[in-house]
């Protein structure tokens, strides 16, 4: 059985490589591979020492990727670094004593790497003075070649953007680097072998090994792969080893020949064994039985149904090679329908939860990729929306489908059936920026808009009594003043509304039963509020319906769902909160909503439960179920979920559903097969152009799918999907997350300071203290904790009573101490005034280091321009970057000109918002009698000269930002791309 081989390294006749997340060795001539490690965490980037005795690698035995070293024949590995950041082994020094590696330690921008060396027996790592680099290789006599931005081109094939890999060379070893050559491709893995530089490049369409002279001349192609990219090439000075398509190859330099290493791989493939996972951890969806007596849970691509509190659990769909989703009960409560890809494409399948009959497939129907699915409450019909912006109706008896509606702009959403099953309500994108509510009569298949939107109308729901249609809309445009700048915004402009379905129905908010004499609720209105036992056919007067919209007497806010029950409306409302935290949240939104109700009869509102995410109602309106993080709770709609019951055990008393009853079995290899095809189909169905940018996507699938049988771990699967999607040659084609084998999590604590070892005192001297934001203990060095009185030059003697030493750094003593209180012993620079204090370590120091970096840049710009130029940095185009921009822009515009630094920008979506601020023209000043004019040139009509800086590390949005600068002609723009230093612009000097 073949494995999926990656990260090979070679020394004479020995090859070490990674498979199943562990190290293996094999002869360079092939044969039986021998496992070298059996680690708890993933192993990557091994490198054999020149003498062949040791192998260095990146290990994650304690949570973080760190540098490890072990005997090449096997045995225990020693951890050598304690950085708590990303790292990659790059090679060894010629004497086999020190390991070369790249790390982003002490960098706020995670893609900024520098090269370090560390002794194989452990010492304090030393930075090499070659500038930012991700690869390094020394010449045979003198000189060095480095790679910048040299990532793996196979993950984004044919990339030519701002972060394209480049090779730089110092031919003399004096520190003067020049670009090796200008090649229109993505380069990586530079190797100086003899009198030539070898590297990977894809300028001819596929990543292969090329070589040239140290002067950048005599470019020659050395390998000829056409199906898969050459990846992660390394050398021992005589041969180059690399992997492509899951196989290992050796390129013999003397023979100018590449050959595949035939590896016999024998392994129990432990990570492919069947396992069981917690249903709540992978919960995707949930729903209630029409009568509320059962619940359905979708978890990890499997749909389960069970009685609420006890009894067996039925799995609706048993094919381990398929995914099941959108499980819903049909109107009779006896049948269950799901979406499944058992046949290769999404289709409908009917199940019988009591197992009285076998599941039945509907014949293949062109329903696209369903996004929402809702069965009719009265008939064997299901309505669904799909990725093609369609509303589709499927008749389960005739087994036919019809497209009821189709938007040209976006997905239709929020399907809701009337209680008689005759009407569908839904939110319909009627333009690029607006949504209206539409009704569709399923018998006539005609649709009618029933709202004239201001902006977005959504979440429609029929009143069970057939009198109203409820919905949410963000048409309450009451602006709120910004407290930072002169600005108005609309953070909470959504309100619940209703439409009276007949002309003779009055607003339910006109009268109260307790009103003064003469203003009592009319008899007709009282009749409307009486519950009806059986739903009758709903009558809807479409004439003039768009004018019969009535707002609920509730304040605007962030409402997300609304559902109607007899005489009452249930809705969810969420607080207004900052966007930075939400920007980094992954799959699910926050669990901080409030479930509220409005009583139409009593004309009052109240809270039902707090801490919710979403909620659903049974068709009978007798029970309500809501989600709170990874828990589900069933209550009666108007039962207030008292706080005292929040932590009660599962069962009918508290309402919490026991999700541990669900046993989710996972067969990894079957799951990976389904996931692989699903990922391929997602790109096929959602890619921005139908022709896949000219890529034969079916051919790509056929080429990569055989490699699935060689996959043994989740990380290998991820690598395969990355490379397959890389064939599209486009950005934002990512793969992340997943059920990786969990290694121990002993997270590194940080002091956000730099140290140097002091031999005389056998202690570590404080070289720098990161100031950050002193008022925020999570964004400044813990050494600034009041009472410690630590200063640059002081000595760190011990942490938690353990003495530091040459081979025991402060960082090593902070393993598993992230965000915890520690005791630290320090002394003055002479070793006197010894004292011990308690401080709290940081979990992450990047924000503290970022603030120092920005402030130093700002100081340099002010100093170089003699106070005439302001400085603003934009770290990304998301909420974080938006906040950073305004933090400095509003104070820095007092200067004559402004330097906008877009280097290291991580991308996002707020570019146009920042451009709008910078494009504003100054038309006047507010100067009071006693104030000094704030600007040196009050007659200036624009902001003055604006400089936008980008460089090879700028993300794609950073580059776009500078181009938009030019388009808008914002002042005398100067855009520069440079590696560093200070550049002159006109009469001023700007940091670059």
Alpha carbons within 13 A on the beta-carbon side of 507:
14
3-state helix, strand, coil in the chain (%, to 5): 15, 35, 50
Mean pLDDT of 86-96: 97
Give yes or no for a contact between 659 and 311, defined as CB atoms under 8 angstroms apart: no
The pLDDT mean for the chain works out to 89
Average pLDDT over every residue of 638-658 = 77
- The pLDDT, as a whole number, for residue 986 is 27
Q: pLDDT of 237-263, one tens digit each?
A: 999 999 999 999 999 999 999 999 999
pLDDT surpasses 70 at 129: yes
pLDDT classification of 966: cutoffs 50, 70, 90: very low
In whole angstroms, give the CA distance from residue 278 to residue 630. 10
Report whether 11 contacts 48 (CB < 8 A).
yes
520, 513 Cβ separation under 8 angstroms:
yes
Q: Residue 526: what pLDDT?
A: 52
The tokens for 963 are 């181009």
Say which residue, 652 or 50, is predicted with more confidence. 50
User: To the nearest whole percent, how much of the chain has pLDDT over 70?
Assistant: 90
> Which range, of 324-328, 600-604, 715-719, 941-945, averages the lowest pLDDT?
941-945
pLDDT of res. 947: 66
- Enumerate the β-bridge partners of residue 872: 900
Q: Would you say residue 988 has pLDDT above 70? A: no
Q: Residue 921 has what pLDDT? A: 78
> Which candidate, 870, 749, 732, places its Cα nearest to that of 815?
749
**pLDDT tens track for 518-545:** 444 445 445 555 555 555 789 999 999 9
- Say if residues 337 and 348 touch (Cβ distance below 8 Å): yes
pLDDT of residue 487: 87
Q: Between residues 933 and 49, which one has the greater pLDDT?
A: 49
What value does the mean pLDDT take over residues 828-844? 95
Does residue 470 or residue 619 have the better pLDDT?
A: 470
The rounded distance, in Å, linking the Cα atoms of 689 and 701 is 18
pLDDT band for position 583 (50/70/90)?
Answer: confident
* pLDDT attached to residue 917: 87
Residue 658 vs residue 991, higher pLDDT: 658
Q: What is the pLDDT of residues 849-880, one digit of tens each?
A: 999 999 999 999 999 999 999 999 999 999 99
Average pLDDT, integer, range 370-392? 96
* 917 closest CA partner among 953, 893, 951: 893
Question: Would you say residue 983 has pLDDT above 50?
Answer: no
706-723 residue pLDDT tens: 999 999 999 999 999 999
Contacts of 921 (CB under 8 A, 6+ apart): 941, 942, 943
What's the pLDDT at 590?
Answer: 78
- If you write DSSP's letter for every residue of 67-104 in order, what string do you get? EEEEETT----EE-----S-EEEEEE-TTSSEEEEEE-
Whether the CB-CB separation of 727 and 700 falls below 8 Å is answered with yes
**What kind and span of H or E run contains 825?**
strand 821-827
Exposed, middle or buried, 741 (CB in 10 Å: 0-12/13-18/19+)? middle
Band of pLDDT at residue 955, cut at 50, 70 and 90: very low
Sign of CA dihedral 867, 869, 873, 878: positive
Q: Report the C-alpha gap between 448 and 83 in whole angstroms.
A: 62
How many residues belong to the chain? 992
Is the pLDDT at 883 greater than 50? The verdict is yes
pLDDT digits (tens, 9 = 90+) for 426-470: 999 999 999 999 999 999 999 999 999 999 999 999 999 999 999
- The pLDDT, as a whole number, for residue 923 is 72
User: Quick check: 798 pLDDT over 50?
Assistant: yes
pLDDT above 70 (res 586): no
What's the pLDDT at 950?
A: 59
pLDDT at 783 over 80: yes
Position 186 scores a pLDDT of 95
| Residue 514 reports pLDDT greater than 70 | no
Q: Where are the beta strands (DSSP E) in 289-330?
A: 294-299, 302-307, 313-315, 324-329
Q: What is the DSSP-derived secondary structure letter of residue 917?
A: H
Return the DSSP state at 656: B
The pLDDT, as a whole number, for residue 402 is: 97
Q: Are 169 and 157 in contact (CB under 8 A)?
A: no
Q: Which two tokens stand for residue 677?
A: 């095809």
Position 587 scores a pLDDT of: 54
CA distance 992 to 978: 7
Predicted confidence at residue 524, as pLDDT, reads 44
3-state SS string for 745-807:
CCCCCECCEEEEEECCCCEEEEEEECCCCCCCCCCCCHHHCCCCCCCCCCEEEEECCEECECC
Residue that has been written with the tokens 């050796």 in this structure: 250
Q: What are phi and psi of 660, to 5 degrees?
A: -70, -10
Residue 974 pLDDT more than 70? no
Nearest to 854 by CA among 869, 871, 878: 871
């Amino acid at each position: 059985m073949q494995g999926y081989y990656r990260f090979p390294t070679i020394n004479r006749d020995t090859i070490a490589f990674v498979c199943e997340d562990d190290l293996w060795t094999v002869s360079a001539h092939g044969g039986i591979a021998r496992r070298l490690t059996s680690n708890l965490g993933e192993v990557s980037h091994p490198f054999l020492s020149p003498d062949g005795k040791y192998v260095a690698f990146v290990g994650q035995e304690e949570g973080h990727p760190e540098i490890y070293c072990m005997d090449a024949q096997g045995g225990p590995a020693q951890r050598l670094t304690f950085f708590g950041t990303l790292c990659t082994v790059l090679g060894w020094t010629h004497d086999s004593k020190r390991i070369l590696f790249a790390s982003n330690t002490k960098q706020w921008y995670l893609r900024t790497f520098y090269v370090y060396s560390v002794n194989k027996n452990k010492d304090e790592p030393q930075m090499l003075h070659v500038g930012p680099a991700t690869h390094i290789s020394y010449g045979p006599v003198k000189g060095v070649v480095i790679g910048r931005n040299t990532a793996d081109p196979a993950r984004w094939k044919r990339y030519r953007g701002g972060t394209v890999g480049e090779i730089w060379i110092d031919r003399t070893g004096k520190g003067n680097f020049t670009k090796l050559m200008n090649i229109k491709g993505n380069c990586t893995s530079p190797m100086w072998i003899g009198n030539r530089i070898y590297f990977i490049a894809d300028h001819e369409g596929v990543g292969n090994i090329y070589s040239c002279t140290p002067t950048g001349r005599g470019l020659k192609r050395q390998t000829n792969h056409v199906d898969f990219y050459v990846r992660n090439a390394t050398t021992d000075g005589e041969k180059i080893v690399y992997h492509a398509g899951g196989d290992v190859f050796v390129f013999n330099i003397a023979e100018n020949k590449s050959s595949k290493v035939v590896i016999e791989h024998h392994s129990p493939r432990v990570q492919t064994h069947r396992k069981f996972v917690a249903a709540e951890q992978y919960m995707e969806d949930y729903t209630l039985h029409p009568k509320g007596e059962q619940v359905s849970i979708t978890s990890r691509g499997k749909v389960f149904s069970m009685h609420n509190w006890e009894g067996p659990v039925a799995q609706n769909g048993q094919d381990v090679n398929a995914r099941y989703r959108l499980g819903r009960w049909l109107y009779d409560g006896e049948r269950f329908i799901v979406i499944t890809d058992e046949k290769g494409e999404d289709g409908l399948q009917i199940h019988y939860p009591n197992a009285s009959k076998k599941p039945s497939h509907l014949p293949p129907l062109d329903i696209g990729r369903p996004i929402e699915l809702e069965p009719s409450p009265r008939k064997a019909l299901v309505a669904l929306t799909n990725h093609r912006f369609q509303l589709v109706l499927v008749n389960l008896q005739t087994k036919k489908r019809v497209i009821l509606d189709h938007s040209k702009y976006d997905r239709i959403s929020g399907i809701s059936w009337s209680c008689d099953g005759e009407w569908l309500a839904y939110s319909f994108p009627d333009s690029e920026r607006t949504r209206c509510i539409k009704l569709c009569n399923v018998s006539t298949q005609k649709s009618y808009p029933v709202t004239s939107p201001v902006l977005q109308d959504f979440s429609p729901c029929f009143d069970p009594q057939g009198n109203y249609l409820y919905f949410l809309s963000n048409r309450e445009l009451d602006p709120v003043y910004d407290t930072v700048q002169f600005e108005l915004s609309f953070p909470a402009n959504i309100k619940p509304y209703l439409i009276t379905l007949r002309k003779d129905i009055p607003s339910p908010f006109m009268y109260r039963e307790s009103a003064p004499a003469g203003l009592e609720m009319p008899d007709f209105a009282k009749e409307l509020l009486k519950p009806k036992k059986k739903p009758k056919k709903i009558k809807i007067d479409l004439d003039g319906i768009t004018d019969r919209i009535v707002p609920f007497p509730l304040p605007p806010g962030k409402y997300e769902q609304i559902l109607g029950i007899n005489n009452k409306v249930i809705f969810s409302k969420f607080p207004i909160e900052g966007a930075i935290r939400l920007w980094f949240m992954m799959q699910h939104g926050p669990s901080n909503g409030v479930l509220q109700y409005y009583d139409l009869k009593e004309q009052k509102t109240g809270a039902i439960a707090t801490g919710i995410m979403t909620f659903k109602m049974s068709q009978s309106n007798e029970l309500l179920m809501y989600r709170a993080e990874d828990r589900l709770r069933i209550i009666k709609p108007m039962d207030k979920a008292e706080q005292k019951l929040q932590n009660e055990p599962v069962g009918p008393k508290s309402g919490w559903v026991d999700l541990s009853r669900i046993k989710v079995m996972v067969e990894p290899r079957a799951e990976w097969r389904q996931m692989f095809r699903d990922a391929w189909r997602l790109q096929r169905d959602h890619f921005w152009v139908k022709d896949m940018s000219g890529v034969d996507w079916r051919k790509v699938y056929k080429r990569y799918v055989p490699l699935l049988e060689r996959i043994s771990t989740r990380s290998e699967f991820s690598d395969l999907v990355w490379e397959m999607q890389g064939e599209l040659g486009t950005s934002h084609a990512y793969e992340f997350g997943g059920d990786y084998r969990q290694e121990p999590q002993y997270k590194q604590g940080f002091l956000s300071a730099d140290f140097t070892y002091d031999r005389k005192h056998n202690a570590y001297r404080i070289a720098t203290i990161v100031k950050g934001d002193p008022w925020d203990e999570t964004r400044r060095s813990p050494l600034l904790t009041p009472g410690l009185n630590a200063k640059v030059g002081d000595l760190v003697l011990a942490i938690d009573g353990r003495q530091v030493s040459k081979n025991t750094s402060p960082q090593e003593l902070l393993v598993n101490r992230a965000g915890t209180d520690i005791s630290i012993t320090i002394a003055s620079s002479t070793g006197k005034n010894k004292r011990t204090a308690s401080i709290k370590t940081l979990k992450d120091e990047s924000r503290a280091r970022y603030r120092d970096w920005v402030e130093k840049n700002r100081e340099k710009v002010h100093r170089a321009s003699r106070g005439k130029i302001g400085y603003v940095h934009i770290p990304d185009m998301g909420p974080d970057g938006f906040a950073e921009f305004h933090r400095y822009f509003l104070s820095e515009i007092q200067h004559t000109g402004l330097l906008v630094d877009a280097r290291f920008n991580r991308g996002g979506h707020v570019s146009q918002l920042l451009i709008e601020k910078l494009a504003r023209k100054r038309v006047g000043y507010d100067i009071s009698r006693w104030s000094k004019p704030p600007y040196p040139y009050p007659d200036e009509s624009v902001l003055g000269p604006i400089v936008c800086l980008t460089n090879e590390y700028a993300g794609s949005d950073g580059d776009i930002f500078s181009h938009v600068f030019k388009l808008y002609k914002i002042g005398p723009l100067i855009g520069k791309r440079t590696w560093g230093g200070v550049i002159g612009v006109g009469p001023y000097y700007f940091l670059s």
